[in-house]
Amino acid sequence: MFGGNMQGMMKKVQKMQKEMQKLQEELKKRTVEATVGGGALTLVMNGEKNAESVHIDPSIVDPEDTEMLEDLVAAAINEANKKVDEMMAQEMGKLTGGMKLPGMF
């Protein structure tokens, strides 16, 4: 009796693993957008945390103050990374029914 339940559970785990792998591949193709500086800089990042595009409003480009631009770029990268993590956690949570699985987002 116990063996049958264990076998059924293993099949469910294997099915969930396949679904998670499929979802991870799909999420890599999705993008998030982070806008900072009141719209002065926008960064688009994919689910693999690779920047796909950056838009910088020319009005904020000041050769005398590159530090501000550097800060905006760093802030946009950090915000986009956070959004990717949140997207991954939300979608994985849907798949796992909210269970926290070790090593998963």
Q: For 61-94, how does the pLDDT look when each residue is reduced to its tens digit (9 = 90+)? A: 999 999 999 999 999 999 999 999 999 888 888 8
Class for the domain spanning 26-96: alpha beta
Q: What residue type is assigned to position 26 of the chain?
A: E
Query: 102 pLDDT exceeds 80?
Result: no
* pLDDT at 105 (0 to 100): 47
State pLDDT tens for residues 3-45. Answer: 568 888 888 888 888 888 888 889 889 999 999 999 999 999 9
Which residue type does 19 have?
E
The pLDDT of residue 2 is above 70: no
Sign of CA dihedral 92, 85, 90, 98: positive
- Higher pLDDT residue, 19 or 97? 19
Q: What pLDDT does residue 59 have?
A: 93
What is the pTM for the complete model shown? Answer: 0.75
For the record, the structure tokens of 46 come out as: 């994919």
Rounded CA-CA distance 81/92 in Å is 16
**How many Cβ atoms sit within 10 Å of the Cβ of residue 47?**
18
**Mean pLDDT throughout 38-66?**
95
